[in-house]
Structure 1
Amino acid sequence: MTPAPVCPLAARHTGQDLIKWIALISMVLDHMRLAWPASADLFVLGRLSFPLFCLAVAINVSRNPRGELFTCSNARYLALLLLFAALSEVPYRLLGSSATFNVLVTLALGLMVAWGVQHRTLASLIVAGAALVAGYLLSEPLMYGFYGVLLPAALLLALKRPERFLLVPVALCVASNTRSDLFERAAQLEPFAILALSTAALAPLLGLALFWARLPFKVLPVTQWGYWFYPGHLLALLGIRQLL
């Protein structure tokens, strides 16, 4: 009997794990305001989360051998994002964020667009095109909208050619906040809005700097338990809100 193929595991990267930890922690701090309104100022730190999650996606895609889209690791990656997007939607809605889908939906579409940039085969371009169409049509209910769907691909380009594409994800991180009133408030020189937009703009630069740096310490790996963390932290915040 021929053994089933085993998906190869990528080597750990300290910078990537640190990026994931900052993304997870800033996400929790951001969502705390939904359970504890007095912590609303943590929204500013929360602007780090989505760009860093997108960077983690881009780093994973950059490790794909060019042209090898249909692999078990890619299938597993997309399947886990979609599975936990479905598992997280109910607690996400119950927490009071019913205006959009949870962020894993945006990340799944962004992953497919990044595959098109990485592989540039007919199949990968069809997958990326379908994701772009879905992102455009679903822009309103998608967290971070159509610009958010483009961000992993933009970060992938920045990883490959920073001298040419470094500022593209910066612009997209700012543009993905256009559906809020942050721009209007920043135009009125409101410090909170200026700080929030500045944090969003700097987030991809911070993440790329951490990834490229030679870090002299070890970081606890963020493995597949990170998928469970997303619905888990939403349920925990629901419990905290009930207690408060």
Structure 2
Amino acid sequence: MHATATMPVGRVRDGALDLLKWLALVCMVLDHLRYVGLSLDGLYVPGRLAFPWFCLAIAANVQRVRNTPLAGHWRYLGWLLLFSALSEVPYRLFIEDADTLNVLPTLALGLLVARGWQQKAPVGRGLALIALLLAGVFSAQLMFGLFGVLLPLAMLLVFTRPWYFCLLPGLVCVAANQWQTLLNSGTPVALLGLVACLIAPWVGLVLLRHAKHVAPPPMRRWAYAAYPLHFLLLLLARQIIA
């Protein structure tokens, strides 16, 4: 399977990509439902699909618009940075013992790295290097750390290679998800979470290839606002349950 076949040309809406984003959003909400005060530990497993699928969506967008003006790339980065800032307070209110930033800074740095690899322009390469340096220095403060920043690039590399190269982003995803802690835990949920991390890139690429004719509602810029808003809604649900 070559994922380049899944990328439409021009301004054609990619229904498979919209579906991937919707599924990633649903998995993220399921993961965070574990913090509303109910015994929902099993939701950790589908929750492991959210971050790699968001990274795959970033990589797919970078691949699709590789020949377009840089203005579109800057808008994409700008929205990520804006909602990184807007989401931090809701994130901290909901995840009270959070020891990292919310996930959007990781995705923003990952976008810079993937785009720098794809565009090969001096400015892009320079920004990618700066993003890598920041990720290395502040890995402990970033959700999913340095490996999380590298995951969109690992996804991008698979697009022009056979399907079995999905093992690479799978391993990067496992490394980004505290695999040693999960392995040492040895619980069924932890082990299934590791499996979910490993297969998430392959499952996502299969979806992009075989769901080309689906037509879910387009996920547009409003989706950025869904990230901080879902924290506030889940915080309200936790207060009602308590």
TM over 0.5: yes
**Distance in 1 between residues matched to 2:121 and 2:163, nearest whole Å:** 25
Deviation at 1:183, TM superposition (A): 1.8
1:13-32 aligned within 5 A: 13-32=14-33
Structure 2 residue aligned with 1:4? none
- Taking only aligned residues, the RMSD between alpha carbons, in angstroms, comes to 1.7
Deviation at 1:194, TM superposition (A): 1.2
1:207 is the counterpart of 2:208: no
1:227 is the counterpart of 2:229: no
Structure 2 residue aligned with 1:139? 139
Structure 2 residue aligned with 1:88? 87
TM-score of the pair, normalised by structure 2: 0.90
SS at 1:223's partner residue? Answer: coil
Query: Which whole-Å deviations, capped at 9, do the CAs of 1:220-240 have from their partners, x for residues lacking one?
Result: 111111101101101101111
Deviation at 1:64, TM superposition (A): 2.5
Structure with the bigger RCO (C-alpha within 8 Å, sep 6+) is: 2
1:31-110 aligned within 5 A: 31-66=32-67, 71-96=70-95, 97-110=97-110
Maintained 8 Å contact 1:154/1:165: no
Deviation at 1:164, TM superposition (A): 7.3
**Distance in 1 between residues matched to 2:126 and 2:27, nearest whole Å:** 34
Runs of 4+, deviation exceeding 6 Å: none
Maintained 8 Å contact 2:59/2:152: yes
* Letter matched to residue 200 of structure 2: A
SS at 1:220's partner residue? Answer: coil
Structure 1 residue aligned with 2:3? none
Q: Unpaired runs of 5+ in structure 2?
A: 1-9
Structure 1 residue aligned with 2:7? none
* Letter matched to residue 206 of structure 2: A
Structure 1 residue aligned with 2:168? 168
Q: Bigger shift: 55-64 or 29-38?
A: 29-38
Identical-residue share of aligned pairs (%): 45
**Distance in 2 between residues matched to 1:163 and 1:180, nearest whole Å:** 27
Deviation at 1:163, TM superposition (A): 5.5
**Distance in 2 between residues matched to 1:65 and 1:85, nearest whole Å:** 24
* Letter matched to residue 181 of structure 2: D
Structure 2 residue aligned with 1:153? 153
Q: Bigger shift: 219-228 or 207-216?
A: 207-216
**Distance in 2 between residues matched to 1:10 and 1:76, nearest whole Å:** 17
* Letter matched to residue 36 of structure 2: A
SS at 1:210's partner residue? Answer: helix
**Distance in 1 between residues matched to 2:211 and 2:32, nearest whole Å:** 31
* Letter matched to residue 210 of structure 1: L
**Distance in 2 between residues matched to 1:154 and 1:169, nearest whole Å:** 5
**Distance in 2 between residues matched to 1:21 and 1:40, nearest whole Å:** 22
Q: Bigger shift: 210-219 or 140-149?
A: 210-219
Q: Bigger shift: 228-237 or 209-218?
A: 209-218
Deviation at 1:180, TM superposition (A): 6.5
**Distance in 2 between residues matched to 1:33 and 1:12, nearest whole Å:** 34
1:38/1:106 CA distance change after superposition, 3 Å: same
**Distance in 1 between residues matched to 2:197 and 2:230, nearest whole Å:** 22
**Distance in 2 between residues matched to 1:48 and 1:213, nearest whole Å:** 18
Q: Unpaired runs of 5+ in structure 1?
A: 1-8
1:183 is the counterpart of 2:154: no
**Distance in 2 between residues matched to 1:129 and 1:230, nearest whole Å:** 27
